[in-house]
Amino acid sequence: MVNIIIDGRKIKAKEGSTILKNARELKIDIPTLCHHDELTPAAACRLCAVEVKTNGKWKITASCDTVAEQGMEIKTDSDKVKENRRLAAQLLYYKYPSTAVVRDMARRLGVEVSDEKIDGHDCILCGLCVRACGEVVDVSALRFRDRGPGRDIDEPEIEFDPALCIGCGACAYVCPTGYVKMESVDNKRIIWDKVFKMQACSVCGSYFAPLDQLEYINKKTGAPLSRLSICMSCR
């Protein structure tokens, strides 16, 4: 355990824990759009900025990927913190002015937002879908395609490999903007414009999971398909 101070409150934090985790345990509200507790932090949106005192000097840092250290002092609501969050939100709003979640966040953090009733769902390149696919599902059907030598693209984007995707829907679940869409039609699931055949439960007959996902689990774990073909409600 390490001793830290958050907004004047002295607490003991677990070694290796982040400032964001400790602040939220104290019910301190810190905004994020690129963070999920089960995924590696990326500090992409910069909305979770806090002010930290180390070696006698205060500096702004992202709370999601900054580890709490012995003697650290943290401010989550100083004027500098508020301004940094506002600027981060303003930049997101400038790039994605029609995206509902970005507009809501920008307005919340003091950015002047137009009164138009818009409900867009742009990809804000937060990376949550990529991390969920790689870290949790262990498939890596999604990856960042960024600018650089030999890459003739105007803007960074998420690249989808249909040959690897198993249709699990983890990417749609973590997407904060609704950009990743998952639809169910009869015995099919559609995600990233790929159509997956759904497996019917061998007991109740309801469609509950893509056949590709069950076959992937079978190969990865050795669990028999006959067992995997029963939905959770019937097990």
pLDDT in tens, 36-72: 999 999 999 999 999 999 888 999 999 999 999 999 9
Residue with the two structure tokens 């190969």: 219
What SS3 state is found at 221? helix
- Model confidence band, residue 151 (pLDDT cutoffs 50, 70, 90): low
pLDDT, residue 178, reads 95
Pick the CATH number of 2-108 from 1.10.3720.10, 3.10.20.740, 3.60.150.10, 3.40.50.10310: 3.10.20.740
- pLDDT of residue 96 exceeding 70, the answer is yes
What SS3 state is found at 38? coil
- pLDDT of residue 150 exceeding 70, the answer is no
CA 150 to chain centre: 29
- pLDDT of residue 147 exceeding 90, the answer is no
Helices and strands (H and E) in the chain: how many: 7, 11
Residue 103 structure tokens? 């507009």
- Separation in Å, CA 85 to CA 21, 49, 81, 168: 18, 6, 6, 34
Mean pLDDT of the chain: 94
- pLDDT of residue 111 exceeding 90, the answer is yes
Domain ranges of the chain: 2-108, 128-228
pLDDT, residue 148, reads 55
Q: What is the mean pLDDT of residues 155-162?
A: 91
